[in-house]
Amino acid sequence: MKRFVCLAILGLVAQMGGSASANPWYARGDFNGWDLSAQLTDQGGGYFTGTISGLNPGDRFNYKIANGDFSVSAPGSDGRVIADAAGEINYNFWESTSWGDGWEPSTEMRVGYQDPGQFGWELIGAMNGWSGAAMADLGGGLYSIQVNLVAGSYDWKFREAGSWDIAIGDNFGNSAANNTAVVAADGDWLFQLDLPNGRWSAAAIPEPSSLALAGLALVGVACRRRRLV
């Protein structure tokens, strides 16, 4: 669990690579008629935050983060979010379009939000017959699930537990295309959803035997270096 929490913290303060350079940015959506009334606060380094308040807890809203003339926006397809128990939506936005942190989307601006905590999340896709599998809530808006997959290609998404009303696809939007996992060899995969940082990941978990062999190889190199000194 500590590993995931650290990833979330590092992601929240890190802003990678290039920038769309189109600020000021605005939270625009059903909650304000898609107008310019909710300008985000520039926190520096291409990172912005904003809060929409005065909403009814549990109400659902489509949204984007966009510049003034809507020529640049994210996510690529409308996002969808629920107001938390305080009637708020708290956004995090990064205008970078170049990421090297191993998470997706990797070539688009990222929009995240504080977890409203109103429902759980599940992984749903070809790997489970599109029936859904509950993800573990690790706290702080981070969810994960480990799945054993046989070699092949799998389309999938994240969605709110038991409903397609809120889902997350390839660009983190609600109506985005399916994500795809290409599995080269049978084994366990880890799927992660990081709401505050507007990102997700899916990757094969290295076999313990492979890790052990790698460790032995490093030990061998260290021993040879000692003899050479």
pLDDT of residue 22: 60
Q: What is the DSSP letter of 25?
A: -
pLDDT of residue 207: 82
Three-state SS at 132: coil
CB 52 within 8 A of CB 135: no
User: Does domain 2-113 correspond to CATH entry 2.60.40?
Assistant: yes
The residue extents of the domains of the chain are 2-113, 121-208
Q: How many CB atoms lie within 10 A of CB 176?
A: 19
The rounded distance, in Å, linking the Cα atoms of 130 and 157 is 9
Q: What is the DSSP letter of 42?
A: E
The rounded distance, in Å, linking the Cα atoms of 81 and 30 is 10
The rounded distance, in Å, linking the Cα atoms of 25 and 43 is 12
pLDDT of residue 14: 42
The rounded distance, in Å, linking the Cα atoms of 99 and 40 is 22
| 2-113 and 121-208: identical CATH topology | yes
From residue 193, alpha-carbon distances to 106, 121, 138, 140 in Å are 14, 9, 10, 11
Instruction: Residues 121-208: name the CATH superfamily.
Output: Immunoglobulins (2.60.40.10)
The rounded distance, in Å, linking the Cα atoms of 34 and 47 is 21
Cis peptide bond prior to 105, omega within 30° of 0: yes
Low-confidence ranges of the chain (pLDDT < 50): 1-20, 210-214, 216-229
Longest dimension (CA), the chain: 72
